[in-house]
Amino acid sequence: MRPKGSAKELEVRRRIAGNLLLEGKGINEVARLVGASPSSVQRWKDAIEEGGMDALKSKPHPGRKSRLSVKQKKKLYKISRSRSCCSWL
Residues 53-68: pLDDT tens digits?
999 998 877 888 889 9
Q: Do the Cβ atoms of 27 and 41 come closer than 8 Å?
A: yes
Tell me the whole-structure pTM to 2 decimals. Answer: 0.66
Q: Do the Cβ atoms of 10 and 57 come closer than 8 Å?
A: no
Helices (H), the chain: 7-22, 27-34, 38-51, 70-81
Over the stretch 7-34, which tens digit does the pLDDT of each residue have? 899 999 999 999 999 999 999 999 999 9
Residue 48, H or E segment: helix 38-51
